[in-house]
């Protein structure tokens, strides 16, 4: 909790952490309306999966460009500019009049999402190095908290909006106003780029990050799948009749992830990044087993365990990547993020097609299998790190 106190006590740390929250407030608001978008456009799970593919494709399109943008703008300006464009773009999917326009809107939104994601992680990593503090995990905790706010609070009031895009415009406006006040605390931060004497890029320098990137591939695929499919799983597989109750899966997942990340920095300092990555995946495996039972209470607890287990993994992957001595922070984080978002790109699509062939229950079996593979892989990485 030391890192949480640090964030809450100084605007220098709270300001970038709130960017993390802002991203998921917007994403959480979007998640509420996924079933309605599916219904309004008359598409099936497979088509929805392809549409989400375009979101992730937009993320992947932007990732190679981010190191150049952060070098030109600095991590501070790249973060706030990316957030502004992301907030504006997220109104587009809810206004899409047809399936093709939905795919195009999600591609644009995904591009700004990927840019903001890398920039804000690089920003936190730069501040950690400059100030000699650790708050990466807690910053990701604010990301999870944003999901609770977006999906939780939004789930209680979404029935007040006959037109979904009005809800998103309201949320985007509030998020941008708060960030406009806070951005002075980080907008001038340039990062390593101006004074870096690091050698030019080469694949050999990235080789130590390949194992971490593979784990990120699986974990981010699982996170994306739960974010986009948890509500539909409760509606279609568990057969919950209330849309509000069906939203609790993602809410519990986000709450557990928030708690885990607020404690993550302290746990990391005590046990080390590699060890808690391994233990975290093991807890997530137990959670997936409970989800597969198909009983509401077990499923809800399962989503909580998955959130708790996965909570520490991605922040630690980014922390390790950001500590690379041979390449810049933004480049190393872009590499790990890129492989990770490939999982996010493929996960929802594969789950959608599996659901068409079988059902979402089988899709979540696939997530369990991938988590077991990631766990075994993390053991190998842990041994090599010793």
Q: Is residue 198 part of a domain?
A: no
Is residue 323 assigned to a domain? yes
19 occurs within a structural domain: yes
pLDDT at 335 exceeding the cut of 90:
no
Q: What domain range is 178 assigned to?
A: 2-192+204-385
CATH number of the structural domain spanning residue 211: 1.20.1250.20
Please report whether residue 197 resides in a domain. no
Q: CA 179 to CA 116: how far, in whole Å?
A: 13
Whole-number average pLDDT of the chain: 85
In whole angstroms, what is the distance from residue 83 CA to residue 146 CA? 14
Query: Is residue 199, in this structure, part of any structural domain at all?
Result: no
pLDDT grade for 334, boundaries at 50, 70 and 90: confident
pLDDT digits (tens, 9 = 90+) for 185-227: 999 998 765 444 444 445 566 666 777 888 888 888 888 788 7
| pLDDT tens-digit map of 135-164 | 888 898 898 788 778 877 887 887 788 888
Does some domain include residue 176?
yes
> How many domains does the chain divide into?
1
Task: Tell me how far apart the alpha carbons of residues 359 and 50 are, in angstroms, rounded to a whole number.
Answer: 16
| Residue 49 belongs to some domain of the structure | yes
Instruction: Note the pTM of the prediction, 2 decimals.
Output: 0.78
Per-residue CA distances from 143 to 43, 146, 155, 202 (Å): 30, 5, 18, 32
């Amino acid at each position: 909790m030391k890192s949480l106190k640090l964030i809450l006590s100084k605007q220098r740390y709270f300001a970038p952490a709130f960017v993390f929250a802002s991203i998921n407030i917007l994403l959480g608001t979007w998640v509420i309306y996924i079933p309605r978008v599916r219904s309004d456009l008359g598409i099936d799970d497979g088509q929805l999966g392809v549409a989400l593919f375009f979101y992730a494709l937009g993320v992947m399109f932007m990732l190679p460009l981010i190191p150049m943008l952060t070098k030109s703008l600095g991590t501070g300006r790249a973060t706030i500019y990316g957030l502004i464009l992301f907030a504006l773009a997220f109104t587009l999917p809810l206004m899409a009049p047809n399936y093709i326009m939905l795919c195009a809107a999600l591609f644009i939104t995904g591009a700004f999402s990927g840019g903001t994601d890398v920039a804000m992680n690089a920003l936190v990593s730069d501040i950690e190095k400059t100030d000699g503090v650790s708050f990466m995990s807690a910053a990701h905790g604010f990301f999870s908290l944003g999901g609770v706010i977006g999906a939780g609070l939004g789930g209680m009031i979404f029935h007040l909006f006959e037109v979904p895009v009005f809800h998103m415009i309201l949320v985007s406006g509030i998020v941008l106003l708060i960030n406009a006040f806070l951005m002075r605390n980080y907008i001038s931060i340039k990062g390593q780029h101006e004074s870096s004497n690091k050698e030019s890029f080469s694949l050999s320098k990235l080789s130590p990050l390949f194992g971490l990137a593979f784990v990120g591939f699986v974990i981010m695929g699982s996170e994306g799948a739960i974010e986009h499919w948890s509500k539909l799983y409760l509606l279609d597989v568990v057969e919950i009749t209330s849309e509000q109750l069906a939203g609790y899966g993602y809410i519990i997942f986000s709450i557990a992830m928030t708690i885990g990340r607020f404690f993550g920095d302290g746990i990391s300092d005590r046990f080390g990044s590699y060890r808690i990555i391994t233990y975290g995946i093991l807890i997530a495996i137990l959670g997936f087993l409970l989800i597969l039972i198909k009983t509401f209470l077990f499923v809800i607890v399962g989503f909580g365990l998955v959130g708790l287990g996965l909570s520490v993994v991605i922040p630690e992957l980014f922390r390790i990547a950001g500590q690379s001595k041979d390449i810049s922070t933004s480049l190393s984080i872009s590499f790990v993020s890129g492989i990770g978002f490939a999982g996010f790109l493929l996960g929802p699509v594969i789950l959608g097609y599996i659901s068409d062939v079988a059902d979402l229950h089988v899709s979540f079996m696939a997530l369990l299998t991938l988590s077991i593979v990631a766990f075994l892989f993390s053991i190998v990485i842990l041994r090599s790190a010793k």
